[in-house]
Structure 1
Amino acid sequence: INMSHMHAEELDGWVRAARAAAAAEGAPVAVVVDLSGPKLRVGSLPDGRMALAEKAVLILGRDLPVSHPEILADIRPGQRILLDDGNLELEGLGAVGDGFQVRVKVGGLLLQGKGINLPDTDLRLPAVTEKDLVDLAAAVKAQVDYVSISFVQRADDLQTARRAALATGPCPRLIAKIEKPAAVERFEEILAIADGIMVARGDLGVEVPPARVPVLQKQFISRANAEGKTIITATQMLESMIHNPRPTRAEASDVANAVWDGTDTVMLSGETAIGKYPVETVRMMREIITEAEKAASPRREVYHGKTRAHALAAAAVEAAEELHAAAIVAITVSGYTAQMVAQRRPRVPLIAAVPDEHTRSCLSLVWGVTPVALPWQGNSAEFLGVLETVLLKSGSLKAGDTVVIISGSTKLRGTDYFMKIHDIGK
């Protein structure tokens, strides 16, 4: 749910609609709220437009108004100022009073309201705006599953959002959108703090050379996989379907390659927000994912974690594949144990038994997990009996199936950190 296009008071209705649709389908669906972040845009222009002649000199903040004048103090001589998704380019010359003098390097017609990108500038502008704080409070109240933070440049941007959310209530899981060169440079510190990562290829492709974007996408996915963090690949995946009923071959390949890279999730934007074929687009993306998964080579990355959950996950995957088990069942409070199993891309189905609908919804953004929410009560034997009954009724398993059951740290008596090979119905 993109907060750039709505007010905070509208959010609860959209979340309720999403929850109702998910319940009707019996499917876990994660609700992600995308905060707007600071929007750097060209201000009002005479007649709404301005012709920029190559080599012309003008002053940002005077001749060319900007939505956030405070950014002018951060620009340095020689740095690039990109306008209109990079179609126009200015070069910084130096500060002039309360403005900043620039020279036009790539000219053309500029319309007011067009975006401004500063790929060479480390901006002090906060990632979380006053509007974002209001929207974040509404997201907490609506009990959404994830909030994605725009304009992230450093780990502290996420900490600011987390502190603001906690002042209102339980903090949703936070996704860092990687769309700035500063975020690329500080990716490791951001990854350590974030609950998930979004490769926001639209703005990223303006701020860094387009040739680097596929390489960065692969690197980000690989690192997020290694840390067991959710990774979303987004923007322009099936862009042509905004207007056309079928995607280009290149777009189909783009989605498939993201799957083969190891992304947990692929995301649609304008295709479903304003497109003429939203349902057909989702159906097409699902078909591409399904075909890509069929052709995917088994991935066998070696991850050396230091936690018990890492060790249990590694043992469970090896045991399940050696035994040709019907499934791995991860009993998990937060979803972490299931994520550690998913990280290893097992060749058998992965079922996560969780205590609440929130965790069930969150795990729908994790590769290969079928989450099941059920009451957590009694001792381990009683709980496993209830779990077996639920899985049989759902059709996930049948009598006689062999499963590998693992558990992380839980509140159930006798279920902390164990692995069990179990035959259903025996």
Structure 2
Amino acid sequence: MSDYFRHTKIIATLGPATESKEMLAKLITAGVDILRLNMAHASHQWVKDAMWFIREASSEVGRHVAVMMDVKGPEIRTGVVDSPIEVKTGDRFEFHIESATATGDVPAVSVNYPGLPNDLEVGTTVLVDSGIIRMRVFEKDDSRVRCEVLTPGKIGSKRHLNLPGVYVNLPSLTKKDEDDLAAGVEVGIDFVALSFVRQAEDIRILRRYLDKLGSSAKIIAKIEDQAGVRNMHEIIAEADGIMVARGDLGIEIDYHRLPLVQTEMVAACRDAGKPVIIATHLLETMITSPMPTRAEISDVSNAIREQADAVMLSGETT
């Protein structure tokens, strides 16, 4: 690695392609500064093994790297279906809570969040599977919501639901998150990335839990929805750093607003003296191609020119 000073740090996500000691050594040699542990599907044993490999590779290369645990956070997902349900534009579809049964007159799937009917209003947009399928609520009761399909697709098991503009009454820190954090603190994580931060209180809840565990890990607030954007200044003031998580954020707000929101958040962090990370879809084509596109190169360059403190790779390094 060359000995020039690089202002913008590089964060890489661990996965099957990079979790061996040999690959970690290559990543560290190539310039990775922080390694991210994505806890969406990870086990505690994997965390212990990954940390051991990271420390071994870091020692071998002679260069220290930090470790960031990205906790899953609250989310709404569909239940299990026997086979994907195909929906077409104009169809009617039902989401019902797990304790209720489908009415049977329209295709339906359960959701893991019992408060869904209370949080939604008639006319609300529901996005399924990263926004691939778009629906609009036309009817609801205490246990179900009925939607009209606006864009077609297939709804499978455990698909993620986004509710743009809706304040969802889910806890900022789940039981799984708490268990994962305890495992991470035990092995010495340096940063915690908290998903779907909506207000400063979410950060305070996490900080109290880390204090209880005896951890001094720094907190990175992931801003991923409209509430987070609205409350960005109070979140920036409370957190140790900010992540512009463009995956869900690009679903929750209009696409054309995303570059403007990114610029606004980077500037706000710079004014507050807080580090900011740009994440998601930076070099996505390199998952399958050895070369990035011109647009991706421009995107990374723009993030650096805006004075982002770090850029983060996800699928590109997993």
Q: Any unmatched runs of 5+ in structure 2?
A: 1-36, 97-101, 103-107
User: TM-score, structure 1 length as denominator?
Assistant: 0.62
Give the one of 244, 251, 262 matched to 1:199: 244
Deviation at 1:99, TM superposition (A): 1.1
Q: Render the CA deviation track for 1:332-378: whole Å, top value 9, x for unaligned.
A: xxxxxxxxxxxxxxxxxxxxxxxxxxxxxxxxxxxxxxxxxxxxxxx
SS in structure 2 of the partner of residue 122 of structure 1: coil
The equivalent of 1:243 in structure 2 is 288
Tell me, yes or no, if structure 1 residue 20 matches structure 2 residue 53.
no
Structure 1 CA distance for aligned equivalents of residues 279 and 245 of structure 2: 5
Deviation at 1:59, TM superposition (A): 2.4
Larger Rg: 1
Structure 2 CA distance for aligned equivalents of residues 112 and 170 of structure 1: 36
Structure 1 CA distance for aligned equivalents of residues 135 and 301 of structure 2: 37
Seq. identity, % = 37
Task: State the AA in 2 paired with 1:238.
Answer: L
The equivalent of 2:94 in structure 1 is 59
On the 8 A contact 1:71/1:125 being kept in 2, the answer is: no
Task: State the AA in 1 paired with 2:137.
Answer: G
Structure 2 CA distance for aligned equivalents of residues 109 and 255 of structure 1: 33
Q: Render the CA deviation track for 1:242-274: whole Å, top value 9, x for unaligned.
A: 01111111111111110001101011100001x
Q: Which moves more between the two structures, 172-181 or 92-101?
A: 92-101
The equivalent of 1:217 in structure 2 is 262
Deviation at 1:188, TM superposition (A): 0.7
Cα distance change on mapping 1:142 and 1:82 into 2, 3 Å: same
Give the one of 42, 64, 68 matched to 2:78: 42
Equivalenced residues, count: 272
Higher relative contact order (CA 8 A, sep 6+): 2
User: TM-score, structure 2 length as denominator?
Assistant: 0.82
Alpha-carbon RMSD across the aligned residues, in angstroms, is 1.5
Structure 2 CA distance for aligned equivalents of residues 230 and 19 of structure 1: 24
Structure 2 CA distance for aligned equivalents of residues 71 and 158 of structure 1: 24
Structure 2 CA distance for aligned equivalents of residues 122 and 38 of structure 1: 12
Task: State the AA in 2 paired with 1:30.
Answer: A
Structure 1 CA distance for aligned equivalents of residues 138 and 170 of structure 2: 21
Give the one of 10, 20, 30 matched to 2:66: 30
Structure 2 CA distance for aligned equivalents of residues 58 and 244 of structure 1: 38
Deviation at 1:56, TM superposition (A): 2.6
The equivalent of 2:144 in structure 1 is 99
Q: How does 1:76-95 map to 2 (within 5 A)?
A: 76-95=121-140
Q: Render the CA deviation track for 1:203-248: whole Å, top value 9, x for unaligned.
A: 1111111111111111111111111111111111100010111111
Structure 1 CA distance for aligned equivalents of residues 191 and 216 of structure 2: 9
Q: Any unmatched runs of 5+ in structure 1?
A: 274-426
SS in structure 1 of the partner of residue 173 of structure 2: coil
Q: Render the CA deviation track for 1:58-86: whole Å, top value 9, x for unaligned.
A: 32113221132333321112111001211
Richer in helix (by share): 1
Tell me, yes or no, if structure 1 residue 141 matches structure 2 residue 186.
yes
Task: State the AA in 2 paired with 1:144.
Answer: I
